[in-house]
């Protein structure tokens, strides 16, 4: 059972406590949970529901936010039964060649099927190329 969060803000959103509480219940029933920190995808920034490109975060900001997220999650989850993982573990080793191979499997038309991109495209609001990488890296 996993919960993946991008540390794009200093604190976990209060809405995540619903999922964290359910995960704790599952831990109490003997399940292992994975708390997945989207440190790599935070470099891109989730474009979902956005009408503009997110301002970029530094690796230092992301790391500081990630530490806060895990500290807050541990207030609900049992740390001894929580595995923490970072999506940079498999995203960074891809390298440029791997990213090109991954991107080659998708089209701009497919990306524009996403409502958020369609609205921005139709309103001639800029969409940065790196934002198209976000759904590929999830």
Q: What is the CATH number for 106? A: 3.40.50.620
Counting the structural domains of the chain, the total is 1
Residue 53 CB partners (closer than 8 Å, separation 6+): 45, 47, 126, 127, 128, 131
Task: Say which DSSP state 123 is in.
Answer: T
Residue 12 pLDDT class (50, 70, 90 cuts): very high
Measure the CA–CA gap between 37 and 101, rounded to whole angstroms.
24
Residue 64 pLDDT class (50, 70, 90 cuts): very high
Residue 84 pLDDT class (50, 70, 90 cuts): very high
Q: At which residue do the structure tokens 């609001």 appear?
A: 125
Measure the CA–CA gap between 39 and 27, rounded to whole angstroms.
24
Measure the CA–CA gap between 85 and 131, rounded to whole angstroms.
23
Range of the domain at 73: 2-137
Q: At which residue do the structure tokens 């230092």 appear?
A: 60
């Amino acid at each position: 059972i996993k919960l993946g969060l991008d540390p794009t803000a200093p604190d976990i959103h209060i809405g995540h406590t619903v999922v964290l509480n359910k995960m704790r219940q599952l831990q109490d029933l003997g399940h292992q949970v994975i708390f997945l920190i989207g440190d790599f995808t935070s470099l891109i920034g989730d474009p979902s529901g956005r009408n503009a490109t997110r301002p970029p975060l530094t690796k230092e900001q992301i790391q500081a936010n990630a530490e806060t997220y895990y500290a807050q999650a541990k207030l609900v989850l049992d740390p001894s039964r929580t595995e923490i993982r970072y999506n940079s573990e498999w995203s960074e080793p891809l390298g440029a060649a791997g990213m090109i191979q991954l991107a080659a499997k998708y089209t701009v038309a497919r990306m524009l099927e996403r409502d958020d991109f369609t609205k921005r495209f139709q309103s001639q609001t800029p969409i940065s190329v790196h934002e198209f990488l976000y759904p590929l890296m999830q």
